[in-house]
Structure 1
Amino acid sequence: MWCREAMNIYNKRFKALYVITFGACLWFGLAFQAVSEQSLSFKLGLVSEISSDRKVFAFYEDRDFTPIWIDSSTESKDRRVAFLQALDSVGIHALPEGKYGKDALLQRMRTVKTDHDLGVLEALFTRSFLEYANDVHSGLLKPSEVIEEIARTSTYLSVQDYLSGVASEDGANYIVTLPPQSQEYHNLLSLRQELLDVAENGGWGKPVPQGKFSVGDSGPEIVALRNRLIAQKYLDRSVSSVFDEKMLQAVKEFQTNHGLLSDGIVGPGTIEELNVNVFERLKSVTVALERERWMSLRNVTTDFQKSRTILVNLTDFTAKILDDGVVTFETRSVIGTNKDDQRSPEFSDVMEYMVINPSWYVPRSITVKEYLPNLQQDPASHSYLTMFVPDTGDVVPRHAVDFTQFDEDTFPFELKQMPSPSNALGRVKFMLPNRHNIYLHDTPHKTLFLKEQRAFSHGCIRLQQPFEFAYALLEKQSSNPVSEFHNILETGLETTVALKEHIPVHIIYRTAVTSADGRMGFRRDVYGRDALIFEALESVGVVIAQNHG
């Protein structure tokens, strides 16, 4: 079911469509009674339009060119109505409103005269449906073609899948359920309409002046701050010019919902987020809708309904465990630095095991770019690292090597750090084997978690509370997960602990998110990815609103 707000908008817009199409549909149904979809002329009209599309032609050939849309059955009529409704609502989903040929379909329905015309119309419905179905279900863009670091390579639904679905007895309902059915998608639809309403009414008013404000302050700057918080629904209406306790709570709530330190002090970071205009927020929501459609490729909604899922939102700097769709554990995270070879990728995989007291096998890129230059200057540097031969594992004494004879391409050895509290991976790592060599792990650098923006790693995800994360994972398979974990930890030996149930892990990137209390919040575009995606959406015809404050 769509959220109530989206349905209200949808119903209002459909009334006009229904009035326009009712006459055409009525005449169309009467005209069809005088012709047969099995006529040679109908087939010739259909084939003339689909012969160049091998997959569509094969589908119709297998059903002896029996129509999906163009017959007098109730099912066929319901499909037509449901699809025309869907085309009228593409703007709600932030899809290009002129892309799917709704007006051309309506015009054809009004002017159809012969069986051949009906065959052509059948093909036009199918062509329009396939384009719409793919866009609303799986997204307008191919993620990795926009940004290589978005590694969502799942299988798209095929032409056969889409046409079989719409040709089923419940084809009308199939059309209705093509958009993502996740709660997050419905929340985004509702928020988008709310933001559009704000934009139509001129935005959120004047920006907050620069400065630093806290409880007890007063003056015109505080009035501007109060007005902005009222406009964004964090405060009830008031004319007070004093930063009081109610404003303090509103500021803290705003900060929490925007990934800021919730200290109630209005400084440069908070003011920057308060002053983001509604048009920029609409961009974030529009991109989030597209990203949610990409997630349909892996049936992520189904994953969240399973007993356990791990969700890492890179822009939020958090890692969460969800049980039956409810967050049961959350910890701060550190993500990859905003550099070409260090940004954390987006992908989905499965967590299979953890390693307690892990060794750190230094990635090749770090070895040759960071450590080799130091070793060339001082072979005794980084004494905590062991050098070995990759194929045999034999340890290589540093004094026996002339490091100056090697460069990034020719250095033949690898480096590793043995298990210890100071190990770069800390005391535990959580493995989801993948081609990116990305995993979650502990870290000895705890102070980084005190920072608001936490992009400091080489790409892997560091956890502030790795032990508690481990307990939560083990509680499904151990009567005493804390004792089991620490008994292994205290041995100091590198030990692999398999998870009896593998857990879906989704590393995502959302600048428009749902907060714990159901309010929509926003995050900064840490890597600039959403800006690139929005540009790509604009290039294929997505339009959201005029610029407002």
Structure 2
Amino acid sequence: MANVFHARNAVSAVALAVTLVGYSSSQADAQYLFDRLFGNRVPRQQQQVVPPTAVPRPQEPVAQAKPAAVKKVSAPSFYNYKAEGLVSINLAALKSALEAKPGATTEGQESLFREAVAATAELELKVEKAIADAIVAHYSARPEFIWLDENGTTQRARGVMGVLNGAESHGLTGSDYSVNSRFFPAATSEEAKLHRAKSMLRWELMMTARALRYARDANMGRVDPNKLSGFHDFARAKLDEKLVLSVLASSDAPDRYLESLHPQNDAYAALKDELAKLRAEAAADEEVVLDPQLLLKPGGTHPDLPKILKIIDRKADSSFREQHGTVLAAFAGTDTYLDELVPVIKAAQRQHDLNPDGIIGRRTVGVLAGETKAAKIEKILLAMERLRWHPSHWGNTRVVLNVPSFTASYVENGVEKLNMRTVVGTTTNQTYFFHDEIEYVEFNPYWGVPNSIMVNEKLPQLRRDPGLLDRTGYEVYDRNGRQVSSASINWNSVGNNIPYSVRQKPGPSNSLGELKIMFPNKHDIYMHDTPSRNLFSRDVRSFSHGCVRLEDPRAMAAAMLGISKEEVGKHIAGGKNNRKTVPVKIPVYVSYFTAWPDLAGNVSYYDDIYGRDAHLAKALGLVDNARSAGS
């Protein structure tokens, strides 16, 4: 009888469930009702009263709500860069200003300047608008030559000309700033005097315009990074051109002032030195070029193999030569990748922190043979431009996350204390490019799932399996902050504007691992641990959704907090979520440099994993083209 009783109850329960499903708007609602009936208890305040309805026949499918339209959340894109246009200096405005302000004397430089302005109808000189406005404002208030006297160019002018004509040493385009020295001989006739004054005015204003352009480019860079792509996020540096011109006009050493506007950090100085060295080497000798797409496995042949073996032999230290020198000598001329050579290649790969798989591929060739000097020079030029987007002074204590090198470096009081491998964003979920300050470390963190991941990845899964989040360690909260069951939500009705917040609970499977290091920003980029430790052994490590995973997060957290790794472990022990504020905020540079020096000044070169070099090079070309329209 008991079995019959239970069977009848079960049948009744199933019948009731089917009845209620008829009033459900989705599979999620149905699952929620079945949970109530078969043991998954629901608090009283969440219970619903459902009116009775006819039981549908088994062959009739349960009506499902049509899924809400969802548009995939796309990543930021690269833009079609537009270079700043040039305008003519408003000579008419300068004339009007001088006419409204009579000169104090009828002779001397001020008088000569006024005569030149009055006699000049127009100037064939186009410059950036901010520079044109600064020129008109300055000379309206101080109508006199800055760079010329009765004998021609002054000593101050010659010093500045030396800086302008040396612009290429800073990775700039020389023709954008170059000025030739001029001599303006004395004239006797009125016509000759007038021509002389007009020539002096044109040269003076061109010199001023070039000096101001140099100041802007040295201080801010030639390209506005935020106009390159949505992955760049910089507070655009501001330069008061009028103030700069005032300093140039009054300073005893305007040349030193212009030089001081370049980035004042060791990385920039090292890149500048490397640029000079490479240019000298490129002019002095021919270099051996290897096939950059070479892919050679044991047993294969390639004509470049002897060159690679020669490079390995040339770079080998005494220890390497002692172990592999005999094999290198024996097979120096072979183009067949014999089994005897595999240990040599693997050893060379290990020396350069590559995966020692014994396969001679693009990355192995790039590291062993190096890039061409032309390619290196191009990367240095782009790195010097990018450095101008960051603060001039980086600080003696800082964290640098360089995406192309897949590394995180911590420098304390000018000494590198940590340098570790990282995993960065994929090409479709790129790590952004910006700088910020580290504020705190969170232990046993929750992971707040970003809306883009919810829409692009989780929502399709939840429409098939509404209870997925409940079973896999996630918490769901509605707009009122109340925790709800994932299975109770009709995910078919949810579109791009998901009215729920989702977070993953702390634990071994949490995507952020044991801790995260926070520098709060609108892109939700931060450093963190990861349970996917195997990825750190790979050469190319672009696998994240944009955040930076650390190979040794406990060491980085300890450094940020000024405590030991053991103390970090105590904060993690027990699994409780907690946070600790850093004693002093530390600058962090989330950067993208395909040429980057270590603290000793040795420059390394990296692949352009996101294709940003090409976009920046194109933008710089557009700037050059726009400026060539001026004179």
What corresponds to 2:492 in structure 1?
404
Pick the structure with greater CA Rg: 2
Q: Which residue of 2 aligns with 1:42?
A: 113
Q: Of 230, 233, 256, which residue of structure 2 is paired with 1:151?
A: 233
CA contact (8 A) 1:337 1:343 kept: yes
Q: Secondary structure at the match of 1:392?
A: coil
Moved more, 399-408 or 205-214: 205-214
Give distance in 2, aligned partners of 1:77 and 1:227: 56
Q: How many percent of aligned residue pairs carry the same amino acid?
A: 27
* Matching residue of 2:529: 442
The whole-number CA distance in structure 1 between the counterparts of 2:582 and 2:281 is 48
Q: 1:230 to 1:541 in 2, by over 3 A?
A: farther
SS in 2 for 1:303: coil
Give 1:374-523 correspondences, 5 Å limit.
374-382=461-469, 383-409=471-497, 411-475=498-562, 478=563, 481-515=564-598, 518-523=601-606
What secondary structure does 2:168 align onto?
coil
Structure 2 residue aligned with 1:545: none
Partner letter of residue 447 of structure 2? W
Equivalent of 2:422 in 330, 333, 336: 333
Letter in 1 for 2:434: F
Deviation at 1:362, TM superposition (A): 0.5
- Contact 1:203 1:278 (C-alpha < 8 Å) held by counterparts: no
Q: CA deviation at 1:499?
A: 1.2
| Contact persistence 2:571–2:578 (CA under 8 A) | yes
Give the deviation of 1:419 after TM superposition.
1.6
* In structure 2, distance between residues paired with 1:482 and 1:102: 58
* Residue matched to 2:166: 89
Q: Given that residues 388 and 413 in structure 1 are in contact (C-alpha distance below 8 angstroms), is that contact kept between their aligned partners in structure 2?
A: yes
**Compared with structure 1, are the counterparts of its residues 345 and 110 closer, same or farther at alpha carbon in structure 2 (3 Å cutoff)?**
farther
Question: CA separation in 2, counterparts of 1:193 and 1:201?
Answer: 13
CA distance in 2, matches of 1:123, 1:443: 59
- Which of 377, 381, 389 is 1:282 aligned to? 377
> Structure 1 residue 390: deviation in Å?
4.6
* CA displacement, residues 86-132 of structure 1 (integer Å, 9 cap, x when unaligned): 222123233222222524xx357579954554344332211111112
**1:174 corresponds to 2:261:** no
By how many angstroms is 1:369 displaced?
A: 1.3
C-alpha contact 2:444 2:578 (8 A) present in aligned 1? yes
> Match for residue 354 of structure 2?
261
**How does the TM-score come out when normalised to structure 1?**
0.78
Match of 2:135 among 47, 56, 72: 56
The structure-2 alpha-carbon separation of the partners of 1:517 and 1:185, relative to structure 1 and needing over 3 Å to count, comes to closer
Q: In structure 2, how many angstroms separate the alpha carbons of the residues matched to 1:253 and 1:165?
A: 58
Task: Give the CA deviation at 1:330.
Answer: 1.5
TM-aligned CA distance change 1:337 to 1:111, over 3 Å: farther
CA distance in 1: counterparts of 2:565 and 2:366, whole angstroms: 43
Q: In the alignment, is the contact (CA less than 8 A) between 2:151 and 2:184 conserved in 1?
A: no
Q: Counterpart amino acid of 1:128?
A: R
What letter is aligned with 2:365? I
Q: Does 1:223 find its partner at 2:327?
A: no
1:270 to 364, 374, 395: 364
SS in 2 for 1:315: coil
SS of corresponding position for 1:131: helix
Displacement of 1:389: 3.5
Cα distance in 2 for residues equivalent to 1:126 and 1:234: 53
Partner of 1:355: 442
Q: Separation in 1 of the partners of 2:621 and 2:378?
A: 10
C-alpha RMSD of matched pairs (Å): 3.8
Does residue 243 in structure 1 map to residue 328 in structure 2?
yes
Q: What SS does the aligned partner of 1:38 have? A: helix
Q: Which moved more, 1:77-86 or 1:123-132?
A: 77-86
Taking the aligned partners of 2:373 and 2:622, their CA distance within structure 1 comes to 21
Amino acid in structure 2 at the alignment position of 1:96 = T
Give yes or no for the alignment of 1:65 onto 2:143: yes
Matched residues in 1 for 2:266 and 2:579: separation?
Answer: 36
Paired with 1:534 and 1:505, the residues of 2 have a C-alpha distance of: 26
SS at structure 2 position matched to 1:330:
strand
CA contact (8 A) 1:347 1:508 kept: yes
Determine helix, strand or coil for the equivalent of 2:452: helix
**Retained in 2: the 8 A contact 1:219–1:242?**
no
**1:127-206 alignment runs, 5 A limit:** 127-167=209-249, 168-201=251-284, 203-206=286-289
* 1:303 corresponding residue in structure 2: 394
Structure 1 Cα separation of the partners of residues 347 and 378 of structure 2: 22
Q: Distance in 2 between matches of 1:109 and 1:230?
A: 62
- The amino acid of 1:395's aligned partner reads Q
Aligned partners of 1:43 and 1:116 also within 8 Å: no
Match of 2:389?
294
Task: Rate the CA distance shift 1:203–1:194 in 2: closer, same or farther, 3 A.
Answer: farther
Name stretches of at least 5 consecutive residues in structure 1 with no aligned partner: 1-33, 543-549
| Deviation, structure 1 residue 219 | 11
User: Displacement, 1:291?
Assistant: 1.4
Cα separation, 1, equivalents of 2:266 and 2:350:
21
Change beyond 3 A, Cα 1:235–1:179: farther
Structure 2, unpaired ranges of 5+: 1-105, 188-192, 333-340, 626-631
Query: Once the 2 structures are TM-superposed, how far is the Cα of residue 529 of structure 1 from its aligned partner?
Result: 0.4
Shift, 1:157, TM fit: 1.7
> 1:8 is matched with which residue?
none
Distance in 2 (CA, whole Å) between partners of 1:162 and 1:251 is 56
Once the 2 structures are TM-superposed, how far is the Cα of residue 384 of structure 1 from its aligned partner? 2.6
CA distance in 1, matches of 2:600, 2:329: 23
Partner SS, residue 200 of structure 1: helix
Give the letter aligned to residue 279 of structure 1.
A
- Which letter does structure 2 place at the counterpart of 1:421? P
